[in-house]
Structure 1
Amino acid sequence: MAENEIIPIEMVLPHKIPLIPLNGKPIFPGIFTPIMLSNADDIAAVNEALNTNGGILGMVLVKQEANPMAIENLYEIGTVAKVVKRINLPDDSINIFISTLKRFKIKKALSKEPPLMAAVEYLDDVGEVTDEIKALTRALISEMKQITENNPLFSEEMRLNMVNIDHPGKIADFFTSILNIEKEEQQKILETIDIHERMEKVLMFIKREQELLRIQKKIQSEINEKIEKSQREYFLREELKAIKQELGMPGDAKSSDYQKFKEKIDSFKFTGEVLETVTQELEKFQLMEPNSSEYIVTRNWLDLICSLPWNQTSNKEFNLEEAVKILEEDHYGLKDVKERIAEYLAVRKLKSDSK
């Protein structure tokens, strides 16, 4: 082989590689990303890759949790990556920077215990770049731009990558990696080798994401309108109240009720626990919004308090026998209650006071 001849990547990549199980989401080819690893088995897999085959390892999504992890618990198709840099962290975990290269399929398990080793077959994209593929590429970029516009979740670097990727299959992979979709759906995209089919699936996910964003914006708009309306009404009421006070006009119904209750309660000259309770309810009434459910309850309570004859006494004589007779005629049964009322009236008559 000539010295300057280009060597195909299939001839460079080893067919026996260590595997790192992914619990989050699958990683797609053509991406440079950091990964933090704290599991001892994963670190052992990285060491194996660096020591034996130039840092080449496989990243595979976990299909079913297991301890210890076995190859049977992983999806068959993953992404091969090269460890570009490794950083040891103080807590014995490591941070690696990987460059993902292409898809692979697990052909055979070479180890039953971690670190996991497997014989793999590398997968190429299927399909030629036809006019239909070019049209799908333009549609993907156009629809994706609508999602990324004014969205803080998409960085400027992501937007630049959208227009700089030149291969249709890689564009579909990149869009899938940044879309907010379930990991199982992302894995299905990773397993789709046909470019046309993959792009159609990604376009469907983009359309669905657009619909979710439209509904989200609608909900946010409705909530903002309600908040703005409530704030506007509050400020207008406060302005109207200030204008009426300035002109000497009566205030709103709530202010009028508060003033009426306050004057009435002050005239009763309450003391002690009664004064404390009534004052607390009156202050609570002043702070309440008329639309709240407790407003009516508190208002009725204050209205009842103000309607009671607190400072009125009666020296009217009453006949105990006549009172008992009235109780028997007007109320059937209730023997204990009647006896208690009769005892109370008897004590009142003996004491000859109103307390």
Structure 2
Amino acid sequence: MSDQERDDFDHEIDGNFTIEEGDFPTEGELVLARDLLPEELPIIPVRPRPAFPGILVPMVINDPDQLASFKKAIDSPTNALGLIMVRDMESEDTPDNLHRVGVGGKIVKVIHHDDENAHFLINCLERFTVVEVMQLKKGLRAKVNYLLQPELSSNEELKAYSMAIITTLKELVQINPLYSEEIKLFLNRSSMDDPGRLADFAANLTSGDGQELQAILETFDIRRRIDKVLVLLKKELEVSRLQTKISQNIEEKITGQQREFFLREQLKAIKQELGLEKEGKTSELEKFEERLKGLNLNEEAQRAVDEEMEKLRLLEPSSAEYNVSRNYLDWLTILPWGKMSKENYAIKRARRILDRDHFGLEDVKERILEFIAVGKMKGDIAGSIICLVGPPGVGKTSVGHSIADALGRNFFRFSLGGMRDEAEIKGHRRTYIGAMPGKFIQAMKSVGT
């Protein structure tokens, strides 16, 4: 890879990732470390992903056996440690549950260490195949065989494969800038000219399944390894594009909803400033108070209205109880409290109205006139009931209308035919959804007196 291409790639990721000097070896030390790793290593089983050569891996362990292997590694002159992925994630860390290929590395920094847990950084250096795994009293130890890779930077075919990986990484960085920090770290520690190291780094960068990554780790032929890595990278690229598309769609919806919300709030504020519109609850309360000004409520009714008004002020419009209370107040304030009809007991006027509306029925007219005359003498006809009996169509309803007209009262026709539920007369409990008052209350609202 030319210096110009490397500079261009650095410009693509443009990260501000900083590395503390001394946290891990330089590239020169990385090459010499192949000869420094011992043939026997304390082993720490890893899950759910394997480690790859050339990668700095932070680790946190709290298992007693793993802590024993860690202590043996830091007590040794080389600080060497082996990482092998387990076969079954749910099974115990036994020799039979380990894969046959792992990674050897050196502990470069211990961040925290006590008898219960340890937090450290390990610089993974080389692949190895397991010759034998030994179960010690505490921890695992393995005899390994390191597979040193030949220098392949001059192979033109592998250079082309490397450029395909680099191109895909550039696209990933453009879609997801989080990848840039890991790439910056890799560039400061290794070279893009090493196809094997580049393939291992790209595989580690993906979110592939642990078994897929282990298969790549066990692929020693570099060309086949790069083929597998490119497939994983393409999958990662498609997933990143899909995630970006989903995020953009969600952001557009949220942005649109927020914009509409702010515009509505601004419009509401402008209308309130101009007096064109008031808040829903405030408008309702003012409407009820305006109705009450023209009414003459008795003490019990006034107390009930005051309690409901106070309750409505405390309730939120989104509350279910708010609608119940508002509907109850609507009926309380719409009834004609204190509004009475001025009754007329003029006998001659009553006779004229009865004769105008009906022909004949002299006995009925005489009985009605007697009823009005008694009411005139008493000064009130409250509590009196007139019962008109006859087959359909003889004029019972029209006679009742004429009586109301003669007395100067409003008329309301209340038919009980076909009524099966007494709640239609008495009314429903106001806590029920869609509750309505009884027919008598509806009649008083209709006639207005």
Same fold (TM > 0.5): yes
Distance 1:318 1:202 in 2: 100
Structure 1 stretches lacking a partner, 5+ long: 1-6, 289-293, 346-355
| 2:40 aligned residue (7, 16, 19) | 16
Cα deviation, residue 300, structure 1: 9.2
Aligned position for 1:159: 184
CA RMSD of the aligned region, Å?
4.2
- TM-score, scaled to structure 2: 0.58
Q: How does 1:143-292 map to 2 (within 5 A)?
A: 143-149=168-174, 151-156=176-181, 158-159=183-184, 161-162=186-187, 164-244=191-271, 250-251=276-277, 255=278, 261-266=284-289, 267-268=291-292, 271-281=305-315, 284-285=316-317
Is 2:137 aligned against 1:110?
Answer: no
- What is the CA-CA distance between 1:142 and the residue it aligns to? 1.6
2:82/2:105 contact within 8 Å kept: yes
CA distance in 1, matches of 2:93, 2:49: 17
CA drift of 1:41 comes to 1.5
Alpha-carbon distance, 1:177 to partner: 1.6
Per-residue deviation, 1:137: 0.5
Q: Matched residues in 2 for 1:338 and 1:303: separation?
A: 17
Measure, in 2, the Cα distance between the counterparts of 1:115 and 1:329. Answer: 92
Assess if the C-alpha contact under 8 Å between 1:68 and 1:114 holds in 2. no
Give the alignment's TM-score, normalised by structure 1: 0.71
- Structure-2 separation of matches of 1:203 and 1:161: 18
CA shift in 2, pair 1:197/1:311, >3 Å:
farther
What SS is found at the alignment partner of 1:165? coil
Indicate whether 1:140 and 2:165 are aligned.
yes
Per the alignment, in what secondary structure is the counterpart of residue 99 of structure 1?
strand
SS across alignment from 2:135: coil
Tell me, which stretches of 5 or more residues in structure 2 are unaligned? 1-30, 293-301, 341-380, 389-413, 428-437, 439-449
Deviation at 1:20, TM superposition (A): 1.1
Tell me if 1:38 matches 2:65.
no
Change (3 A) 1:173 1:316: farther
Which residue of the partner structure matches residue 373 of structure 2? none
| In 1: Cα distance, 2:384 partner to 2:248 partner | 70
Residue by residue over 1:301-355, the C-alpha shift from the partner in whole angstroms, topping out at 9 and shown as x without a partner, is 7467425544536896475999xxx9986445x7x979999xxx9xxxxxxxxxx
State how far apart, in whole Å, the 1-side matches of 2:181 and 2:426 are.
83
Alpha-carbon separation, structure 2, partners of 1:339 and 1:160: 83
Aligned partners of 2:49 and 2:210 also within 8 Å: yes
Question: Counterpart in 2 of 1:63?
Answer: 87
Whole-angstrom CA distance in 1 between matches of 2:71 and 2:419: 94
Q: Structure 1's 46 and 202: CA in aligned 2 closer, same or farther, altered over 3 A?
A: same
Measure how far apart 1:167 and its partner are.
Answer: 0.8
The superposition leaves residues 247-271 of structure 1 with CA deviations (integer Å, 9 ceiling, x where unpaired) of 66x44xxx48656533331133664
Q: How far off is 1:69 after superposition?
A: 2.4
Answer with 1 or 2: which has the greater Rg.
2
Where do residues 327-342 of structure 1 align in structure 2 (5 Å cutoff)? 330-331=418-419
1:124–1:193 Cα contact (<8 Å) kept: no
Q: Deviations over 1:279-299 (max 9, x none)?
A: 345xx33xx6xxxxx89x967
The alpha-carbon distance between structure 1 residues 199 and 46, as it changes in their structure 2 partners (threshold 3 A), is same
